[in-house]
């Protein structure tokens, strides 16, 4: 159970927020002032602190400074009834995960809390495991990790990728990261940021594939309170949040042509203006984009602006799919096994030889993301200290069976030795391939995929679960 500390001198606010979070599965403590809050922190390891900016004995800025100095692994979200954009940007640069204004909306606060805890957990995993980041040479006997899930291995593809990251990271070049879904594009973007002169400034990631046309402008540029129906508070856009640091735009090929035009203007002028405001804000932002689409093909078909493409494409990096990374597959599998053991409190130590053979030959359509999910699932299902074939998803164990068949002999004398053709498994394999193909085509937009496949969303979710896709 994740532990949250609420520091707010408005007792009723703290009480209501505490009850709401307890109902959602958190362990919550409350403090009415900064001093009491620091006393709580000395006695308990909290995953997250929700701190009101204006307290009777201090303010949010001072609290953030003290918390980060003494407990750097603890995430902090600042809450206030006052909207001050400059202060919000300053707090984020000081290390706050986010800054939200009252009144608090349940869905918004819960979503922000979950993302903050997930981010803190990922950072702690990197520190807890025997891996180092690029800005420090790995100690003897330790592997080197770029960021998150992309482990530097011995394959030629991995070594070439590392060289490119080391080359471009110290510059201010905009970067396009190309590759299939699940190859770890965001992890590499974070690595570029962490090994750049901007590493102490914000890294802000934005999933363009999930943006509707109506929300995109507000998410990118922000808006003023009352600037349109539903604008109940002033919102800081992602460009402003990333000012001084790096803005990562994932699946940028999904953006509408109108938003692309607005992006081009912002990138060219290095200024941003929130919706409903007349004030322009100077920007110093490095932009990294990622896509699994062919943007040049999009240009030829009129879906993507050529001038914006050339603004982004000062340097490009190709992310090799997992099937091209050779022995790195098992290095990654071992890394994910260690994380899964920690998450699930298990002690699975190895992979059965036939599992290793299967992993090395399987095509990994979902790449690193798929491998991580498979290892986590297998760790949970394992009864002993070894991951066996029976713990693997059906499509992977079936692949092992089918790939182990010898070529059919056409002679009548050997007919009895030929494998029987299993139509059920063949049909299931074809169905899985079709689902994966459609999901990739629509960038894992489940609503669109369900429409194309002519099934409802619930059926699609069940079928995705069966092939270990989330």
Neighbours of 263 (CB within 10 A): 24
Spatial separation of the C-alpha atoms in residues 336 and 128, rounded to whole Å: 13
d(CA 55, CA 9): 6
At CA 289, angle to CA 287 and CA 295, rounded to 5? 130
- Whether the upstream peptide bond of residue 356 has omega within 30° of 0, thus cis, is no
Helix, strand, coil percentages, rounded to 5, for the chain: 50, 15, 35
CA distance 231 to 97: 22
- pLDDT of res. 426: 63
Identify the band that residue 264 occupies on the pLDDT scale cut at 50, 70 and 90.
very high
**Residue 73, CB-side half-sphere exposure with 13 Å CA sphere:** 13
Report the C-alpha gap between 364 and 320 in whole angstroms: 12
Q: Name the 3-class secondary structure at 54.
A: strand
CA 167 to chain centre: 24
CATH fold match for the domains 3-128 and 143-320: yes
Alpha carbon 247 to chain centroid distance? 14
* Closest listed residue to residue 322, CA positions, set 276, 365, 270: 365
Q: How far apart are CA 404 and CA 397, in angstroms?
A: 11
> Taking the CB of residue 6, how many other CB atoms lie within 10 A of it?
23
Instruction: Judge whether residue 7 has pLDDT over 50.
Output: yes
pLDDT at 401 over 60: no
**3-state DSSP assignment of residue 151:** strand
Is the pTM value of this prediction over 0.85? no
Q: Phi first, then psi: what are they for 256, rounded to 5°?
A: -70, 160
- Determine the CATH number of domain 143-320: 3.40.50.300
Q: What percent of the chain has pLDDT over 90?
A: 33
- Residue 173 scores a pLDDT above 70: yes
Domain boundaries, the chain: 3-128, 143-320, 323-408+418-466
Structure letter (DSSP) for residue 356: H
pLDDT at 102: 77
DSSP letter, residue 196: S
Rounded Cα distance, 203 and 209, in Å: 19
Min mean pLDDT across 142-146, 173-177, 313-317, 354-358 is at 142-146
Q: What is the pLDDT of residues 273-291, one digit of tens each?
A: 999 999 999 999 999 999 9
User: Residue 141 above 60 pLDDT?
Assistant: no
Q: d(Cα 300, Cα 137) in Å, to the nearest integer?
A: 44
Just give the CATH number of 3-128: 3.40.50.2300
pLDDT of residue 122: 60
Domain 323-408+418-466 annotated CATH 3.20.20.10: no
**Segment 256-271 mean pLDDT:** 92
Give alpha helix (H) positions in 276-362.
Answer: 295-300, 306-312, 328-344, 353-361
CA–CA separation, 199 vs 314, rounded Å? Answer: 20
Q: Residue 147 — very low, low, confident or very high, per pLDDT cuts 50/70/90?
A: very low
Closest CA to 250 of 183, 155, 349: 183
For 363-393, the pLDDT digits (tens) are 898 999 899 999 999 999 999 999 999 999 9
Q: Say what the pLDDT of residue 83 is.
A: 62
Integer Cα distance of 285 and 302 in angstroms: 27
| Whether the predicted pLDDT of 35 surpasses 90 | no
132, containing H or E segment: strand 131-132
Query: What CA–CA distance (Å, rounded) separates 75 from 196?
Result: 23
pLDDT at position 145 over 60:
no
- The HSE-up count of residue 241 (CA atoms within 13 Å, CB side) is 23
Res 417 pLDDT > 80? no
Nearest to 180 by CA among 300, 325, 19: 325
In the predicted structure, residue 148 carries a pLDDT above the cut 50: no
Of 151-155, 407-411, 458-462, the one with minimum mean pLDDT is: 407-411
Closest to 267 in 3D by CA, of 279, 250, 284, 290: 284
Residues with Cβ within 8 Å of 437's Cβ and at least 6 positions away in sequence, in order, are none
Tokens of 122: 């990922």
> To the nearest 10°, the Cα dihedral for 51, 53, 55, 61?
90
Tokens of 192: 């570029």
- Position 432 scores a pLDDT of 75
């Amino acid at each position: 159970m994740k532990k949250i500390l609420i520091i707010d001198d408005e007792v009723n606010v703290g009480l209501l927020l505490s009850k709401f979070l307890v109902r959602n599965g958190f362990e919550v403590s409350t403090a009415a002032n900064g001093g009491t809050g620091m006393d709580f922190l000395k006695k308990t390891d909290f995953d997250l602190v929700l701190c009101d900016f204006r307290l009777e004995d201090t303010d949010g800025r001072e609290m953030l400074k003290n918390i980060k100095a003494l407990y750097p692994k603890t995430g902090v979200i600042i809450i206030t009834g006052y909207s001050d954009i400059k202060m919000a940007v300053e707090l984020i640069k000081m290390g706050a995960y986010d800054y939200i204004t009252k009144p608090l909306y349940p869905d918004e606060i819960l979503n922000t809390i979950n993302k903050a805890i997930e981010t803190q957990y990922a950072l702690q995993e990197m520190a807890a495991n025997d891996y180092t980041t690029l800005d420090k040479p790995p100690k003897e006997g330790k592997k080197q990790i770029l960021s998150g899930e992309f482990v530097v291995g011995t394959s030629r593809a991995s070594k070439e990728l590392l060289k490119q990251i080391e080359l471009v990271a110290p510059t201010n070049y905009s970067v396009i990261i190309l590759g299939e879904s699940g190859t770890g594009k965001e992890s590499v973007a974070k690595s570029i940021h962490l090994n750049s002169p901007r590493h102490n400034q914000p890294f802000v990631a934005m999933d363009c594939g999930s943006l509707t046309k109506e929300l995109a402008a507000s998410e990118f540029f922000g808006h003023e309170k009352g600037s349109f129906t539903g604008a109940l508070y002033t919102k800081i856009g992602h460009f402003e949040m990333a000012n001084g640091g790096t803005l990562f735009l994932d699946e940028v090929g999904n953006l509408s042509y109108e938003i692309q035009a607005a992006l081009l203007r912002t990138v060219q002028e290095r200024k941003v203006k929130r919706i409903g405001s007349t004030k322009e804000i100077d920007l110093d932002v490095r932009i990294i984009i990622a896509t699994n689409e062919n943007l040049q093909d999009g240009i030829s078909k009129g879906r993507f602006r050529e001038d914006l493409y050339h603004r982004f494409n000062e340097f490009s990096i190709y992310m090799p799919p997992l099937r091209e990374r050779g022995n790195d597959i098992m290095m990654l599998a071992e890394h994910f096994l260690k994380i899964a053991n920690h998450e699930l409190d298990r002690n699975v130590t190895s992979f059965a030889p036939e599992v290793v053979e299967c992993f090395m030959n399987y095509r990994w359509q979902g790449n690193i993301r798929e491998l991580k999910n498979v290892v986590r699932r297998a760790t949970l299902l394992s009864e002993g200290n070894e991951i066996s074939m029976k713990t693997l998803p059906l499509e992977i164990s079936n692949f092992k069976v089918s790939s182990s068949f010898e070529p059919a002999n056409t002679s009548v004398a050997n007919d009895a030795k030929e494998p029987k053709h299993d139509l059920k498994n063949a049909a299931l394999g074809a169905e899985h391939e079709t689902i994966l193909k459609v999901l990739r085509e629509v960038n894992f937009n489940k609503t669109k995929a369900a429409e194309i496949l002519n099934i409802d969303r619930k059926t699609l979710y069940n079928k995705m679960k069966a092939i270990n896709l989330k």
